[in-house]
Homo-oligomer: A and B are copies of this chain.
């Protein structure tokens, strides 16, 4: 089975212990993560050959980032080494009405200052079935926009499917910048993931009123938005979205929808008690790609991706450390809610 290549930045994530605020703590847990790295870990844990492509510095912190991926089986042989620093993000867990918040310290990272020409796609993308990137990668720098574009062109010529999670980050670029950049990339995308504000911020398509407490209620406008995408970018005939009603940091409902060659698929709704609300979109994306790779039915694929995604909400850190059996237990209601012993 051919490999999946994901391309993006991996960062050191520093999180105060338990529920502490940054201003009061002197202890951080130091894990590593980033959208495309997270996807690679998920796929590797599901048994696929996942290769992560990026650039990290040569010092101990850069090595630790690599080690965090290799640990879960991700192929890091194509990660470039060098440059000034590893990006960092500080993660402060919220509670109830106090939102989880993130302080980015990613400017000037080895990845951010790397050149498009450093990535030799003809080398990297040999024997690849899927190429995965999120909207964060082109948001990093004009050079990375170029790198993604070059990769997409290579894929296009060599029959490698391109998956893009739009993943808008308002702290990294404006809607206008995002739209300009993505307009060049979308024509190459085969499978598109778009959540919440992504539709409008990245593609200028109005699908969501930005009220996170009632995302599921807006299913119809989301479907309309998804159809607009497939209409505008004919290569892209698969679009999937997570829909959520977020009531507080801990409590929310989660579901997902997908349009595939015009047909709409819907997953069940999960009532969730959330441990850590990050990287669930990456878990979803990985679930979809795994389903595509193994030719799951569309229904199974969507259910599988959603189950993977909600499992991520129960796990600390960026990586979705679950097995295929655990995902299927959640899907199939075999999750008996009891201690297994």
Q: Any chain B CB within 8 A of the CB of A316?
A: yes
- CB-based nearest B residue for A307: B97
State whether A18 and B316 are in contact (beta carbons under 8 Å apart), knowing that A247-B337, A270-B97 are contacts in the complex: yes
Say if the beta carbon of A98 comes within 8 Å of chain B.
yes
Q: Interface 1/0s, chain A 270-309, versus B by CB < 8 A?
A: 1111110110000000000000000000000000000000
Q: Any chain B CB within 8 A of the CB of A8?
A: no
CB distance from A129 to the nearest CB of B (A): 21
Kindly state whether residue A31 has any CB partner on chain B within 8 Å.
Answer: yes
Chain B residues near A102 (CB-CB < 8 A) = 339-341
Q: Bin chain A's interface residue count.
A: 35 or more
Does A122 count as interface, using CB distance less than 8 angstroms?
Answer: no
Residues of chain B contacted by A317 (CB below 8 angstroms): 24
Asked if A250 and B278 make an inter-chain contact with CB atoms under 8 angstroms apart, the answer reads no
* A97 engages B64 (CB within 8 Å): no
Q: With A61-B103, A273-B251 in contact, is A97–B330 under 8 Å at CB?
A: yes
Contact between chains at B314 and A67 (CB < 8 Å): no
In the complex, how many angstroms separate the beta carbon of A325 from the nearest chain B beta carbon? 11
Chain B residues, Cβ within 8 Å of A70: 70-73
Q: Which of A68, A247, A329, A335 has most chain B Cβ within 10 Å?
A: A335
Q: Is residue A160 contacting chain B, with contact meaning CB distance below 8 A?
A: no
Min C-beta distance of A104 to chain B, whole Å: 7
Given A96-B272, A99-B335, A340-B101: A14 and B30 within 8 A (CB)? yes
A276 — nearest CB in chain B belongs to which residue? B19
Chain B residues with Cβ under 8 A from A329's Cβ? 99
Task: Flag A159-199 by CB within 8 Å of B: 1 or 0 each.
Answer: 00000000001110000000000000000000000001000
Q: Which B residues lie within 8 Å of A26 (CB)?
A: 26, 29-31
Q: List 14 A-B contacts (CB under 8 A).
A: A22-B64, A23-B67, A27-B27, A27-B30, A60-B92, A94-B314, A95-B273, A95-B275, A96-B310, A97-B330, A107-B108, A196-B338, A248-B273, A248-B337
Binding site for B on A (CB under 8 A): 14, 18-31, 59-61, 63-64, 67-68, 70-73, 84-86, 88-90, 92, 94-105, 107-108, 169-171, 196, 210, 212-213, 246-252, 270-275, 277-278, 310-311, 313-317, 319, 321-322, 326, 329-330, 335-341
